[in-house]
Structure 1
Amino acid sequence: MSLVLSMVAGEPSGDLLASRIIQGIRARDSGLQASGIGGPEMQQQGMQLHYPMDDLSVFGYVDALKNLPRLIHTYLRFRSSVLKLRPDVFVGVDAPDFNLRLEHHIRQRGIPTVHFVGPSIWAWRYERIHKIREAVSHMLVLFPFEEEIYRKEGVPVTYVGHPLAAQIPVQPDKLQARLRLGLEPDGKVLAILPGSRASEVAELAPRFLQAASLLQKEDPALRFIVPLVNEARQAQFNVIAQRYPVKNLHCFRNRVADHPIAWDIMEACDAALVASGTATLETALFQRPMVISYVLTPLMRRLMEWKAGQDGPSLPWVGLPNVLLREFAVPELLQEAATPANLASACVRALTDTTYIAQTEEKFRQLHRELNRDTARLAAEAILATAQR
């Protein structure tokens, strides 16, 4: 009999990961029946959508509180539909607040559960491991060090690698990327990536642009390239750029293609000034030196501290490249340290220190090799094995 699969992904990155899993399972079971909550990538792989993933998309605690009635309504209706369907296995992709709660409920009623993308318990709220152990039949993790954590805690786990490592070229081509963007091939280029959320752009873009202005005083030929994820972020950034004007500033909107415009930006630049998040890992996979920064508003900081029960991450690093390498391979300038002067000074080294640049590129090449696994096959095999058990 063909596998009956239920899945939930709550945002674009999860939609892409989930679509790869569906593809991997369908290669082994052509009659696969998949349904759940997701986006266009999952739908393209033949999944029937009960709800679009936009119904789960919230940004931060404040947005979650505003949309709580809608989220609860979606959760209860979808939970009921899963119990009625009784799939062979349920796969939750990221979205831990929604998925782990759902996985706990349905696993208690005899449905095997797989969770893909382990919550960052290694940085925040390690005590969540106890709920995970009850909710998850099998955990799929993106990073090698996570496997030991879950195995030690008695949670069946498989390291499947990070699919970005298979999608991003092992040998980036800076010249071709610049030609695709319509940039002159020569000269230094700094990428500015202030994040995809309104709150991130509001906090980081002014600091990043002021740092760019300081850099330009030292090197008037320096160029800056900025990816913006949608029209709203572009409009927001343009207003900020008018307050903090910078010459040789080129902005690019996200486009529908085989990869995001941000990847062209990362491949084309010499170094990047980037908001902490997945973009730091992508920049590392493109083997570019970077300066990582992040600033939380006082309200968001208090909410995170309240929810986590701690005033900061339990690791000394915040940026994913540093977490994976277990060292400060690239600088992190957070909160009060994220001044324009500090950011500019760190960028100078990333752009001009040839020894440091070569060492950083080699570390990132090794990281790329370590994360490059056949993620779709490994995930599919673990999910099928869980369903059979």
Structure 2
Amino acid sequence: MSNNVIVIVAGEASGDILGAGLMQALLKLHPDLKFEGVGGPQMIAKGFTSLVPIERLSVMGLVEVLGRLPELLLLRRRLVKRYTRMPPLAMIGIDAPDFNLVLETQLKANGVPTLHYVSPSVWAWREERVFTVARACHKVLALLPFELPYYERHHIPATFVGHPLADSIPGDLTQRHARKQLKLKDQPVLALLPGSRAMEIKQLGADFLAAAALLQAKHPQLQLVLAAANESRKKQLHGLLQAHPALNVSIVLGDSHMVLAAADAVLVASGTATLEALLFEKPMLVCYRLSPISYRIFKRKLKVPFVSLPNLLAGYKVVEELLQDQVQPQLIADHLTALLFDPSIAKQQCTAFSSIHQQLAHGANTSAANAVIEVIEEHGISTLKGYNK
């Protein structure tokens, strides 16, 4: 067994953030650790060795994944073979449950301590996956407090670690500073965050820009800032902007936090970005769209009344959600007009966001790192003992 390697497999940009924070906390406890697997630029910047680009795992939807299935299966077989032959101290799957839970199951069967960071949404849909989780990992690291009862009910070890973003946002990033950095005027700002995946941009990008065009035509003073997760998404968005030559919009590459800090309101795809907007206490409208087949399957299995994290965390509807056929430019524009120009609606959202923020600020990176070390040591691996927690 390798005496200093921890494998991490992250499935998308949000997992890259979590992985980088976890690595940093683990290195404080054990500076000799090495990390490899699948990760993104933030993890790589901290010394991570990624065997493939993180984008190869970043795919959503039950139908959408089929086109990439042979590649994903080949990658998983490659990882199983590698880490069966050279067992690491532990393997941590960050999100990407359809990929990671099978990988964790196979490595766990070969004696590798396994953890799953970011609870699969067993409380929302596909509840039967809780049994898969039980087979797959020695412990679940949950970001959200309401997730623990689902695991306690099935006697699955789980720890609430909080969310790292709640510990770092907003930090020193004020609206005034962000607007200065982005060269924005002291006039209303709408942030557009249509997602970090190519499929999300394809499904939502055109409608987001059409809604923005309607708003700017009616309110010429409105400033539009569009967040692009990477160069590929920026190129994709530039292509969509060709349909709106009169639209005055700034594209910001790889800095969604700056975009959110500058905003008065946010139009956002459902996902981690909704949590980031919540932590910045920005009024938001949430949208999402899948392929028709994927949505029908998803809707039939959905067990909760909401899809966005702000509403799930609050336990009631704090923000409006427009899903599937509701994602229409005029409807989007109408909701955003209220968020931008009706202070009472914005205040109601922000009050709820502040309360949720306090619940999630839990020292997540350190809590997760301690949980990882505990699992390793519980399996008789003494390498990490003697380091202060």
Q: Is the TM-score greater than 0.5? A: yes
TM-score relative to the length of structure 1: 0.89
Match of 1:380 among 369, 375, 385: 369
Which stretch of the first structure deviates more once superposed, 106-115 or 136-145? Answer: 106-115
Aligned to 1:5: 6
| SS of match in other structure, 1:120 | coil
Aligned to 1:15: 16
Does the CA contact (< 8 Å) of 1:292 and 1:319 recur in 2? Answer: yes
Does the CA contact (< 8 Å) of 1:189 and 1:225 recur in 2? Answer: yes
Mapped partners of 1:228, 1:114: distance in 2: 31
Inter-CA distance 285–156: structure 2 relative to 1 (3 Å threshold): same
Does the CA contact (< 8 Å) of 1:175 and 1:268 recur in 2? Answer: yes
Mapped partners of 1:252, 1:362: distance in 2: 29
The within-5 A match list for 1:232-271 is 232-247=232-247, 249-254=248-253, 260-271=254-265
Q: Deviations over 1:170-190 (max 9, x none)?
A: 675211111100111x22121
Mapped partners of 1:285, 1:299: distance in 2: 33
Cα deviation for residue 2 of structure 1 reads 5.5
Does the CA contact (< 8 Å) of 2:118 and 2:142 recur in 1? Answer: yes
Mapped partners of 1:224, 1:4: distance in 2: 45
Aligned to 2:382: none
Q: Deviations over 1:220-273 (max 9, x none)?
A: 3222221223344334333433324554x222241xxxxx42211111111111
Does the CA contact (< 8 Å) of 1:55 and 1:74 recur in 2? Answer: no
Mapped partners of 2:192, 2:43: distance in 1: 31
Match of 1:297 among 274, 277, 291: 291
Which stretch of the first structure deviates more once superposed, 97-106 or 194-203? Answer: 194-203
Does the CA contact (< 8 Å) of 1:212 and 1:246 recur in 2? Answer: no
| SS of match in other structure, 1:287 | coil
Mapped partners of 2:7, 2:347: distance in 1: 46
| SS of match in other structure, 1:67 | helix
Q: Which structure 1 residue ranges, 5 or more long, are not aligned? A: 255-259
Cα deviation for residue 152 of structure 1 reads 1.8
2:184 is aligned with 1:195: no
Aligned to 1:333: 322
Does the CA contact (< 8 Å) of 1:206 and 1:244 recur in 2? Answer: no
Cα deviation for residue 324 of structure 1 reads 0.8
Mapped partners of 2:249, 2:52: distance in 1: 37
Cα deviation for residue 127 of structure 1 reads 0.8
Inter-CA distance 133–291: structure 2 relative to 1 (3 Å threshold): same
| SS of match in other structure, 1:362 | helix
Mapped partners of 2:214, 2:41: distance in 1: 42
Mapped partners of 1:89, 1:43: distance in 2: 18
Which stretch of the first structure deviates more once superposed, 121-130 or 36-45? Answer: 36-45
Q: Deviations over 1:30-87 (max 9, x none)?
A: 2224333323433333344444434434454455323323222221222122122223
Q: Which structure 2 residue ranges, 5 or more long, are not aligned? A: 379-389
Could you tell me which amino acid in structure 2 is paired with residue 229 of structure 1? A
Could you tell me which amino acid in structure 1 is paired with residue 169 of structure 2? I
Aligned to 2:276: 282
Mapped partners of 1:192, 1:50: distance in 2: 32
Cα deviation for residue 93 of structure 1 reads 1.4
Q: Deviations over 1:134-155 (max 9, x none)?
A: 1111000111111222122211
| Percent identity over paired residues | 38
| SS of match in other structure, 1:27 | helix
Aligned to 2:336: 347
Which stretch of the first structure deviates more once superposed, 26-35 or 376-385? Answer: 26-35
Does the CA contact (< 8 Å) of 1:293 and 1:338 recur in 2? Answer: yes
Could you tell me which amino acid in structure 1 is paired with residue 211 of structure 2? A
Could you tell me which amino acid in structure 1 is paired with residue 355 of structure 2? Q
Mapped partners of 2:47, 2:223: distance in 1: 43
Mapped partners of 1:194, 1:145: distance in 2: 27
| SS of match in other structure, 1:243 | coil
Which stretch of the first structure deviates more once superposed, 136-145 or 370-379? Answer: 370-379
Does the CA contact (< 8 Å) of 2:192 and 2:268 recur in 1? Answer: yes
Mapped partners of 1:199, 1:52: distance in 2: 17
Cα deviation for residue 313 of structure 1 reads 2.4
Could you tell me which amino acid in structure 2 is paired with residue 250 of structure 1? V
Q: Deviations over 1:294-330 (max 9, x none)?
A: 222324435xx1xx5x525211111111111111111
The within-5 A match list for 1:212-231 is 212-231=212-231
Inter-CA distance 26–236: structure 2 relative to 1 (3 Å threshold): closer
TM-score relative to the length of structure 2: 0.89
Aligned to 1:257: none
Q: Deviations over 1:194-214 (max 9, x none)?
A: 223333323323322332333
Inter-CA distance 116–241: structure 2 relative to 1 (3 Å threshold): same
Mapped partners of 2:245, 2:166: distance in 1: 36
Aligned to 2:204: 204
Aligned to 2:40: 39
Inter-CA distance 354–336: structure 2 relative to 1 (3 Å threshold): same
Could you tell me which amino acid in structure 2 is paired with residue 261 of structure 1? D
Mapped partners of 1:241, 1:52: distance in 2: 27
Does the CA contact (< 8 Å) of 2:59 and 2:197 recur in 1? Answer: no
Which stretch of the first structure deviates more once superposed, 225-234 or 143-152? Answer: 225-234
Inter-CA distance 369–171: structure 2 relative to 1 (3 Å threshold): farther
